[in-house]
Structure 1
Amino acid sequence: MIISSLLVVLGFASLIFGANWLVDGASSLAKKNNISDLVIGLTIVAFGTSAPELVVNTVASYTGLSDIVFGNIIGSNNFNLFVILGIAGLIYPITVQSSTAWKEIPLSLMVSIVLFILANNFFINQNLEISRLDGIILLVFFLCFLYYVFKQLQQEKTTAILAETKSNYKIWGLIIVGIAGLIIGGKLVVDNSIAMATELGVSQKIIGLTIIAAGTSLPELMTSIVAALKKNSDIAIGNVIGSNIFNVLLILSISSFVNPVKYDPNFNQELLILIGGTVFLLIAMFTGKRKKLDRWEACILLSFYLMYTTYLVAKEI
């Protein structure tokens, strides 16, 4: 138990340094190439911080741990939405671009609804699962998302305010080392947290929804906190929205290719919470200060998650 605790602390340190390097490298890449921070957040940063979910889910799918797969995906997305945006919004109110309010957030909502429909097989009378065919459907949606980002990149007309002095080698070095730090740190935290939780006899579903979901979302958490502290709202929210889209469309599709993932209808409650939370975020863009997640709205997100998680754990005990 002591060794596991020390490794968790080491994992957190790796996450903190990795997040800082990734944000610095990604921001420098954006400035040097006149690419917006939002596009970088939706792609490079989102993919990098989603790497732990990809590793955990691939292994879980291969070994037939379907509850871990869905618990990690749905739990991570809820953690991203309620906790990470909640904490980042409390640190510094998150101002978003028009495209985020009108396109990216609704797109994230649509992805959650598509997952709900496919997982429950509303149109096909067969076993509840994400089959390989469902995985292909999700992957097609993911390719459409990448096309949307590519078109947005072409339409952007950004101008660098400050000349970026970092070399390409240093920029990509920061990004690669940062992502490596996030992956290693996430794995250390997850593996050792699971080891400690297993000793306490916690169920696979609860471990997936809480410990693994929170653990694999630590890269997103650290990255968005660092971005919020640096008042970089585009990376803070782009990281969360992009990661939620990556988790469902890319990571779950890859998991289904490894093995069809059986779906437990008990996850419907968490999926509906994810859909409801995304609707709340969308509404928040048009209340109070428009196109901004205010501190009181961020507080609502964080408070709800803490209360719901307390309820889940209490029910399990």
Structure 2
Amino acid sequence: MFSHHDLIVIDTVARRGSFSGAAEELHKVPSAISYTVKLIENKLDVLLFKRLHRKVQLTPAGEYFVSQTRLLLKQMSEVKVQAQRIANGWQSSVSIALDNVVREASVNQLVADFYQQFPYIELLLTMEVFNGVWDALVDGRADIAIGATSAVPIDGGVAYRSMGELSWDFVVSKNHPLAKHNEALTEQQLIIYPSICLEDSARILPKRTTWLLNNQRRLVVPNWHSAEQIFIAGLGVGLMPTHRATPLIKQGLLVKKTLAFSTQDNSPCCLAWRDGVLPPAIKWLLNYLGDSEKLHQQWLA
């Protein structure tokens, strides 16, 4: 209904308080400004300005129209800038999928540093479990995945960088019946207790599970924070990442146990991203997150 020029004229007249003042600022003659305002008023079928001697005054309808005009001008300016950024390889947002196993304390610093570098790009964070991290990359819900575990379950289109290996400890609550057993625990001793497992958040890819004996009941929880509370309460047994178990063991809340049989090996972890031409924000993040040693120390150690 109205051009960008129309909105500029209305805004300028409102700010300067006269047609002559607006004409001076816009390098027009006053009659051209007056004519433009009259056309807009005719389109609206309302009076925007009261014409006074050598000045104009906004009507109530004019005050509303000017407030909306300024919002539209701001939006139009932002659209232009954002379109230029995208044309130059910028993104309006960057999505990161974090495996629930990573150290949450490192997330806050990442967010702060990212927004310092890219104040106009939204950062979208999700917490995933097991294959849910890979699933987010495949489904386009994530640009980068931190802490993706196990082997890459997808073919092509993904690059990755090692984060080292994730080690596991078998733990029980300090109050659990097995806590005082000094000898290595057997399958027969363990199978009567539920195994605490995390629910894989994958939507497309096959789901994985944590340690589980044949015919053993599961106690399924959504994340490691919930799992820690269940372990401490003595409601089940199972494996926990060493970097999460160690503080709880030192506090005397959990007890690390040895087993008379082999459990799962250490899990390789990696930083993964969708391969191809990388926008500046993605390149910055990959450089910021660093090499394998830095990744391991910051997110898994």
TM, length-normalised to structure 2? 0.20
Larger radius of gyration: 2
Higher-RCO chain (CA-CA 8 Å, sequence separation at least 6): 1
- Say which structure is richer in helix: 1
